[in-house]
Amino acid sequence: MCGIVGYIGGQNAVPILIEGLKRLEYRGYDSAGIAFFQGGKINVRRSVGKLRNLEAAISGQRLESNLGIGHTRWATHGRPSEENAHPHRAGKIVVVHNGIIENYIALKEMLIGKGHEFKSETDTEVIAHLIEEYTKKGDDTEKATRKALKELRGAYAIGVVNEDEPDRMIAARAGGPLVIGLGSQEYFIASDLPAILQYTKDAIYLDDHEMAVITTEGVRVTDMKGLPVQKDVTKVLWNPVMAEKGGYKHFMLKEIYEQPRAITDTFRGRISEETGSVFLEEMGITDAALKKIKKVVLVACGTSWHACLIGKFMLEEMARTPSEVDIASEFRYRNPIIDKHTLLVAVTQSGETADTLAAMREAKMLGAKTVAICNVVGSTAARDADGVVYTHAGPEIGVASTKAFTAQLTALYLFALHMAQVRGTLDQKQVRGCITELIKIPVKTEKLLLDVEEGIERVAKTFSKCSDFLYLGRGYNYPVALEGALKLKEISYIHAEGYPAGEMKHGPIALIDENMPVVFLLPTDSVYDKTASNLEEVRSRGGKVIAFVTEGDDKLDRKADHVFHVPATTAPLSPILMAVPLQLLAYHIAVLRGSDVDQPRNLAKSVTVE
Ligand code: AGP
């Protein structure tokens, strides 16, 4: 995610901005910039790549300022480049922004119609021009910003300065984090605490739809009507390292809890429940071309491959499109049957996995169109593909993929819905129903996390010393069984296997004994009874059963050793919810076994070599 910093006070703002951005580097970024008052003007310096490039751009210059804002950009709209880096300027208005503006295209067109000239591809630049438009009508920065923000749809945390008002900076948020640090006649704004902790432990947290006007005299917080809002001052007890993890013990746990946000940000701006439609224009493949597709081939590695297996089910059930799934390292060497009527969908969090990139190139060479479902803007996969559907999970620091996986499932669901509406296999009412259920998933995920974590920790204590686990599921949840096993394997180093529950009698049942915990994914769906009988078979052989069932189903409460209830949803969306407790189970077992959860042995976050 992007990082925002700002400073106003008696110290030199420039080093404080740079140091603050450094403290936000862990959030992941691809460009950076600062804007600071000096000589009665706002000076902007921006650079692509790491902060050291920005430092090089300003080194040797006497930069003295008492007010400035800075930004590290994690690209969502527009590739990583200097012109897309923040801060963005429109006349005397300069803005830094973290979030996604859904209606920026319409606003940009309106502003261009009023004579505004844009220099970047970003959604953020629209905010600067919109505020400028209102200042041109006589509003001060506070009023102009408030009016501009009311026109935005989406998520934002912003910092704003106006060359004509060198005594203040403005901060506001709706759906993006923003904290205000309180010093002695000096104040700080930041996306996250690490940027300000070395200066102050006194903080004000803005809430959604609040705005702060900050001068050296103090901080005035209002709502979006301009009415004053009383804010408590929090004494921050975290050290900077704890703060980077948001108070969580590991990045992986933080990212597990970020999933409601990652899912929301991935569908934000791409659906209309009102009209029952999905918009994936950014994919860059016309509806006419999609109609001609005879087969979709999904390729990936690891967790992303599990997402592809679920994507196949979605595409075949919702879009009635024949779909195949291949592990990328297999696909690239098996002389696959691919032609111009094939659409290759590569799913890759990093966008840099060597085997997946090679599979994309192979498919392209054979005449297929390619789409990347990717989490990193401007990555190799994103650049090589004919079209991209970005997941907006933000940077995933933990090597074990969690929020990227559920964001991939969200993107695949949108893609399947888009294919269904283009190919006419679902009517508008059906698409609307699918969208309505999707919109509920983030809240259901949030509730699930709060409901199950304590119980999962207890179960982790019971089984953390086991040497083998078996994960079983059917249909949409067979790949979730694979994913649950992979999560456990890669961070706790326990041998674990995922299997289709129906396959148990064809081998794995020989493994069952009282030392073998068996995890059952048992949502109330069309194959529930069959899977429930597999559970009985495991129990009758002394296996220990951990079952994940749909809320309201109490039929297994006395048959499984441990039962967890997962909110009800439709079959295509059930993997998102079922994956979450399995991530927590793997996490807590790994913690109990003392593994390096965020950096497990032998693993890399992105396997960029074969
Ligand atoms: C997932 O927890 C693993 N870290 C790994 O399997 C990963 O999913 C795989 O390497 C693919 O990475 P990608 O999504 O960046 O291509």
Give dist(CA 165, CA 156) in Å, integer. 22
Poorest-confidence range of 152-156, 184-188, 488-492? Answer: 152-156
Tokens of 263: 């899912």
**Is ligand 1 within 6 A of the CB of residue 380?**
no
Residue 558 has pLDDT above 80, yes or no: yes
For 140-150, how does the pLDDT look when each residue is reduced to its tens digit (9 = 90+)?
999 999 999 99
CA 599 to centroid of ligand 1, rounded, Å: 13
State whether the Cα torsion 293-294-300-305 is positive or negative.
positive
For 181-195, how does the pLDDT look when each residue is reduced to its tens digit (9 = 90+)?
999 999 999 998 889
Q: Which of 337, 319, 325 is nearest to 298 (CA)?
A: 325
Give dist(CA 2, CA 21) in Å, integer. 10
Contact criterion met (CB below 8 Å) for 562 and 552: no
Tokens of 78: 């527009």
From residue 49, give the alpha-carbon distance in Å to each of 6, 46, 249, 351. 20, 10, 29, 17
pLDDT number for residue 175: 81
Q: Give a three-class secondary structure readout of 262-317.
A: HHHHHHCCCEECCCCEECCHHHCCCHHHHHCCCEEEEEECHHHHHHHHHHHHHHHH
Q: Report, as an integer, the average pLDDT of 434-455.
A: 97
pLDDT number for residue 376: 84
| CA of 490, closest atom in ligand 1 | 2
CA 500 to centroid of ligand 1, rounded, Å: 21
pLDDT number for residue 76: 75
For 284-293, how does the pLDDT look when each residue is reduced to its tens digit (9 = 90+)?
899 999 999 9
**Is ligand 1 within 6 A of the CB of residue 400?**
yes
CA 348 to centroid of ligand 1, rounded, Å: 7
Residue 240 has pLDDT above 80, yes or no: no
Give dist(CA 260, CA 449) in Å, integer. 10
CA 301 to centroid of ligand 1, rounded, Å: 6
The residue nearest atom 3 of ligand 1, judged by CA position, is 400
Tokens of 424: 């006419």
**Is ligand 1 within 6 A of the CB of residue 606?**
yes
Q: Which residues contact 267 (CB under 8 A, 6 or more apart)?
A: 410, 414, 438, 439
pLDDT number for residue 28: 78
Q: Which residues contact 471 (CB under 8 A, 6 or more apart)?
A: 481, 482, 484, 485, 488, 496, 497, 498, 499, 518, 519, 521, 582
Q: Which of 379, 401, 402 to mutate to test the pocket of ligand 1 (most atoms within 8 A of CB)?
A: 401
Give dist(CA 573, CA 317) in Å, integer. 12
**Is ligand 1 within 6 A of the CB of residue 607?**
yes
Poorest-confidence range of 150-154, 370-374, 379-383, 464-468? Answer: 379-383
**Is ligand 1 within 6 A of the CB of residue 350?**
yes
Give dist(CA 554, CA 139) in Å, integer. 61
**Is ligand 1 within 6 A of the CB of residue 162?**
no
Q: Report, as an integer, the average pLDDT of 572-576.
A: 98
pLDDT number for residue 439: 97
pLDDT number for residue 331: 95
pLDDT number for residue 424: 96
Separate counts of helices (H) and strands (E) for the chain: 18, 26
Q: Kindly indicate the confidence band of residue 452, based on its pLDDT and cuts at 50, 70 and 90.
A: very high
Identity (one letter) of the amino acid at 482?
L
Buried b (16+ CB within 10 A) or exposed e, 346-356: bbbbbbbbbbb
CA 329 to centroid of ligand 1, rounded, Å: 13
Q: Kindly indicate the confidence band of residue 26, based on its pLDDT and cuts at 50, 70 and 90.
A: confident
Q: Kindly indicate the confidence band of residue 592, based on its pLDDT and cuts at 50, 70 and 90.
A: very high
Give dist(CA 510, CA 535) in Å, integer. 14
2 is catalytic: yes
Q: Which of 429, 48, 101, 481 is nearest to 265 (CA)?
A: 101
Q: Kindly indicate the confidence band of residue 202, based on its pLDDT and cuts at 50, 70 and 90.
A: very high
Q: Kindly indicate the confidence band of residue 297, based on its pLDDT and cuts at 50, 70 and 90.
A: very high
Task: Centre a 10 Å sphere on the Cβ of residue 287 and count the other Cβ atoms it contains.
Answer: 11
**Is ligand 1 within 6 A of the CB of residue 303?**
yes
For 39-92, how does the pLDDT look when each residue is reduced to its tens digit (9 = 90+)?
999 999 999 999 999 999 999 999 999 999 999 998 877 788 999 999 999 999
pLDDT number for residue 604: 80
Q: Report, as an integer, the average pLDDT of 23-34.
A: 87
Catalytic residue among 201, 231, 295, 605: 605
From residue 528, give the alpha-carbon distance in Å to each of 441, 476, 486, 533. 21, 12, 23, 9
The proportion of the chain whose per-residue pLDDT surpasses 90, expressed as a percent, equals 86
Concatenating the DSSP letter of every residue in 103-148 gives: THHHHHHHHHHTT-----S-SHHHHHHHHHHHHHTT--HHHHHHHH
Poorest-confidence range of 10-14, 157-161, 392-396? Answer: 392-396
**Is ligand 1 within 6 A of the CB of residue 399?**
yes
- The strand order across the sheet containing 41-48 reads 41-48, 31-38, 67-73, 3-8, 187-190, 179-182, 202-205, 234-235
pLDDT number for residue 25: 84
Give dist(CA 327, CA 355) in Å, integer. 9
Choice between 530 and 26, residue whose per-residue pLDDT is larger: 530
In the chain the first and final C-alpha atoms are separated, in Å, by 29
Q: Kindly indicate the confidence band of residue 598, based on its pLDDT and cuts at 50, 70 and 90.
A: very high
Q: Report, as an integer, the average pLDDT of 12-21.
A: 96
For 323-377, how does the pLDDT look when each residue is reduced to its tens digit (9 = 90+)?
999 999 999 888 899 999 999 999 999 998 989 999 999 999 999 999 999 998 7
**Is ligand 1 within 6 A of the CB of residue 401?**
yes
Q: Which residues contact 253 (CB under 8 A, 6 or more apart)?
A: 245, 587, 597
Q: Which residues contact 324 (CB under 8 A, 6 or more apart)?
A: 295, 296, 297, 298, 312
Q: Report, as an integer, the average pLDDT of 156-166.
A: 97
Give dist(CA 210, CA 212) in Å, integer. 7
Grouping H, G, I as helix, E, B as strand and the rest as coil, residue 442 is: helix
Q: Report, as an integer, the average pLDDT of 121-134.
A: 96
pLDDT number for residue 397: 87
Q: Which of 94, 69, 72 is nearest to 28 (CA)?
A: 72
Contact criterion met (CB below 8 Å) for 470 and 499: yes
Mean model confidence pLDDT for the chain: 94
Q: Which of 301, 375, 488 to mutate to test the pocket of ligand 1 (most atoms within 8 A of CB)?
A: 301
Q: Which of 490, 607, 609, 610 to mutate to test the pocket of ligand 1 (most atoms within 8 A of CB)?
A: 607
Q: Report, as an integer, the average pLDDT of 459-471.
A: 97
CA 401 to centroid of ligand 1, rounded, Å: 6
Q: Kindly indicate the confidence band of residue 239, based on its pLDDT and cuts at 50, 70 and 90.
A: confident
pTM: 0.81
pLDDT number for residue 213: 98
Contact criterion met (CB below 8 Å) for 243 and 199: no
Q: Compute the CA torsion angle 185, 189, 193, 198 (nearest 10 deg).
A: -40
pLDDT number for residue 246: 83
Residue 540 has pLDDT above 80, yes or no: yes
CA 345 to centroid of ligand 1, rounded, Å: 16
